[in-house]
Amino acid sequence: MTPYFCTAFLFRGCIRRAILAMLSLFYGYFVLIYTFFSMIRYRRQYFQIRRRESQPSCLRNSVYGVHSTIRVNDVNLHYVAKGNPEKDLLLFVHGFPDFWFTWRNQMTKFDNFYTVALDLRGFNESDRLPYLKSYEFDSILNDLMEFIKALGKEKAILVGHDIGGCIISLFATRHPEMVDKLVLVNSTHLRLYIETLASDLQQFFLSWQIFFYQLHLLPEFVILGKDFAFLENTFRSPDGIPLLNEDELEAYKYTFARPGAVSCALNYFRANVDCLKNVDTKKKVGQPTLIIWGENDQILCAKLGSKEALKRYFTSVEVKNIPKVGHYAHIELPHDVSDSIHKFITSSG
């Protein structure tokens, strides 16, 4: 059975907005019921959010690199850099709900590169802009272009996870001259994601959060609830094992407890409902691409990581499947992922 009503993403105008609103309210209704019972169960504890005024120690660990800020497009972008700036640029782009810290285990593994992990606009110490339009993919792609140039580079090897992978694949088609190679970790081409969402019942249900995030205030309330229990539940393996130690989890809570941080992150989903109209998603990615795929991904269905499907959107693509690993493969098995990235980007292909 195909969820035809999900083709909201492929329609235009009022029909698309109406269907999207219906789905948002549908999922919002069930989340509201769940939240109501959570409030009854935890009572005052559900509303208690601990004040976090000092950075957790792991965010200040110099082993990951040097913290800096560059201003591009009237936006201050924070990043962490390690290595010799004269070497080739290896740029890491995070997803949601994330920031540069997600790549901490990769930052120490590439001595032959100038390794940089970026905070996208709206995340962590990068500027949080108040306008929804500021988070459209077009603006994000311009940020990446100007950021690479500001580092004094003409091109880069790009690594992205989750929505960060979608962003770098779009960037590779818009600015092919600036991209040497691509690595996507549990991510896919944006058009493949949207077409699968519109035709695959499993992916439709896995993507319920995309629709829920279109609502205002309620998603923020849920994410903040019970002192960011959402983050504790998100960063778990498929078997339910926590992926973060106590200090690392505090780093995420500290980051998203900043004023407006949750709303700015959610705006990536809210601002790009019309992404098929606002950016060109039909072009194939021409650069050599590696897809690293945790086979037990809790958010993306297997089709999105299948080589057969990916070949329609990537001219030259390799797929590295990792069994028994979920959506955060680079956190769950950091050494395996780093080794796969290193082997790919240093090969002559």
CATH of the domain at 17: 3.40.50.1820
Question: According to the model, what pLDDT value does residue 278 have?
Answer: 59
pLDDT of 2 reads 47
Q: Count how many domains the chain has.
A: 1
114 has a pLDDT exceeding 70: yes
SS3 for 208?
helix
pLDDT at 323 (0 to 100): 97
User: How many helices (H) and strands (E) in the chain?
Assistant: 14, 8
Phi/psi of residue 169, nearest 5 degrees: -70, -35
Q: Name the average pLDDT for the chain.
A: 94
Residues of 255-274 as b/e, b for ≥16 C-beta within 10 angstroms? bbbeeebbbbbbbbbbbbbe
Give the rounded percent of residues in the chain with a pLDDT score beyond 90. Answer: 87
Whose structure tokens read 């896995």?
A: 206
pLDDT band at 332 (very low <50, low <70, confident <90, very high): very high
pLDDT exceeds 90 at position 212: yes
Boundaries of domain holding 341: 1-349
Q: What percent of the chain has pLDDT over 70?
A: 94
Phi, psi of 328 (to 5 degrees): -105, 60
> For residue range 126-148, what is the model confidence (pLDDT) as tens digits?
999 999 999 999 999 999 999 99
Mean pLDDT of 167-186: 98
Q: For position 18, what pLDDT does the model report?
A: 83
Answer whether residue 274 shows pLDDT above 60: yes
Lowest-pLDDT range of 75-89, 96-110, 189-203, 244-258: 189-203
CA distance 108 to 130: 34
CA 165 to CA 56: how far, in whole Å?
27
Q: Which spans in 175-217 are helix H?
A: 190-199, 201-206, 208-212
pLDDT confidence bin for 214, thresholds 50/70/90? very high
Estimate the crossing angle of helix 13-42 against helix 218-234, to 10 degrees. Answer: 70
**Whether residue 1 has pLDDT greater than 50:** no
The predicted-structure confidence for 182-194, as pLDDT tens digits, reads as follows 999 999 999 999 8
pLDDT at 322 over 60: yes
Q: Please report which confidence band the pLDDT of residue 10 belongs to, taking 50, 70 and 90 as the band edges.
A: low
**pLDDT band with cut points at 50, 70 and 90 for residue 13:** low
Distances (CA, A) of 273 to 94, 201, 211, 304: 20, 19, 10, 19
